[in-house]
């Protein structure tokens, strides 16, 4: 039986923005864990335009960076969208690797399938996080002030 995985599900229109550095800090905190973010956006919600120096549609950005997804839904398809998210989590496979360094910095990640697998499983849907942040297991997550402490 697979281990439980932390999941953040945003249930709003994502008419949002924040400084890019703050959005990236939040994403890095999630990338230090095995957490995914997903979201359901009401298709009737307004779209947010370009924001000078800010990350727009923050929840959508967080979902994409953690390997999740942000789905558009109508009131009639909202339950099906949530069921789809739960199905993705239920039907997932996990791959693991040992990072070369535990430096606490964001590293890009790319997952590729062999040509044989691509040919044999044409309907296979591959989703994965775009990066990871390797931290030493003895380091506790940051507190609200952003300070880390070593576990005793």
The 10s digit of each residue's pLDDT in 90-116 is 887 777 888 888 999 999 988 888 999
Residue 138 lies in a domain: no
Residue 148 lies in a domain: no
Residue 108 lies in a domain: yes
* % of residues, the chain, pLDDT over 90: 41
Q: How confident is the model at residue 19 (pLDDT cuts 50, 70, 90)?
A: very high
Rounded to 5 degrees, φ, ψ at 79 are: -65, -40
Residue 127 lies in a domain: yes
User: CA nearest 97: which of 110, 81, 113, 115?
Assistant: 110
| pLDDT of 150 higher than 70 | no
- Give every strand in the sheet of 70-73, ordered side by side: 7-11, 36-42, 70-73
CA distance linking residue 89 with residue 38, whole number of Å: 10
Full residue range of the structural domain in which residue 67 is found: 7-132
CA distance linking residue 37 with residue 35, whole number of Å: 7
Q: What is the pLDDT of residue 95?
A: 78
CA distance linking residue 73 with residue 83, whole number of Å: 12
Q: What is the pLDDT of residue 2?
A: 62
Task: Work out how many domains the chain is built from and give that number.
Answer: 1
Residue 142 lies in a domain: no
Residue 16 lies in a domain: yes
Residue 149 lies in a domain: no
Residue 102 lies in a domain: yes
The answer to whether 44 and 15 have CB atoms below 8 angstroms apart is no
């Amino acid at each position: 039986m697979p281990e439980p995985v932390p999941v953040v599900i945003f249930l709003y229109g994502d008419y949002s923005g924040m400084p890019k550095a703050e959005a990236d800090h939040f994403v890095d905190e999630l990338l230090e864990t095995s957490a995914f973010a997903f979201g359901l956006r009401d298709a009737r919600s307004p779209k947010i335009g370009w924001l000078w120096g800010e990350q727009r549609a923050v929840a959508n950005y967080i979902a994409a960076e953690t390997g999740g997804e942000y789905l558009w839904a109508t009131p009639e398809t909202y339950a099906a969208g949530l069921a789809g998210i739960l199905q993705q989590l239920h039907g997932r496979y996990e791959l693991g690797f040992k990072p070369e360094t535990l430096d606490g910095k964001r590293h890009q990640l790319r997952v590729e399938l062999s040509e044989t697998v691509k040919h044999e499983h044409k309907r296979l849907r591959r989703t994965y996080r775009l990066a990871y942040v390797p931290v030493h297991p003895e380091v506790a997550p940051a507190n609200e002030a952003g300070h880390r402490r070593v576990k005793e």
